[in-house]
Amino acid sequence: MKSRLVNEVGGQRTFVIVLDPGEEAFATLIGFATEQGVDGASLTAIGAFERATVGWFDLDAKTYRKIPVHEQCEVLSAIGDVALGDDGKPSLSR
């Protein structure tokens, strides 16, 4: 992973993060948030993956329907939030 602080105004920081091939995205981003002391943030991402589990929320079943993907795919956008979990550590919304 590579990262760079690109803006800081009034205590708000903006980072650009580039993951290396094969890095697990959620674990890497949570590790970065922990190292940087991030307890609340918005996340916007683009890129590609070799394998992932994506899904959609089934309102009737009140659960996520998971879809495993095992091929190179582009990510048009990924949007989420970082917030402190019940354990006091950064957590990434999924």
pLDDT score, position 78? 85
Q: Which domain holds residue 11?
A: 2-46+75-92
pLDDT tens for 17-52 read 999 988 998 899 999 999 999 989 999 999 898 888
Domain assignment of residue 19, yes or no: yes
Query: Looking at the predicted structure, is the pLDDT value of residue 57 above 70?
Result: yes
Domain assignment of residue 65, yes or no: no
* Count of domains observed in the chain: 1
The answer to whether the CB of 27 falls within 8 A of the CB of 17 is no
The answer to whether the CB of 32 falls within 8 A of the CB of 45 is no
Domain assignment of residue 8, yes or no: yes
Query: Looking at the predicted structure, is the pLDDT value of residue 93 above 80?
Result: no
Domain assignment of residue 68, yes or no: no
The answer, as to whether pTM is greater than 0.95, is no
Query: Looking at the predicted structure, is the pLDDT value of residue 7 above 90?
Result: yes
The answer to whether the CB of 88 falls within 8 A of the CB of 33 is no
Domain assignment of residue 14, yes or no: yes
Query: Looking at the predicted structure, is the pLDDT value of residue 83 above 80?
Result: yes
Give the distance from CA 33 to its chain's centroid. 10
Domain assignment of residue 6, yes or no: yes
Domain assignment of residue 36, yes or no: yes
Q: Which two tokens stand for residue 13?
A: 């920081």
Domain assignment of residue 82, yes or no: yes
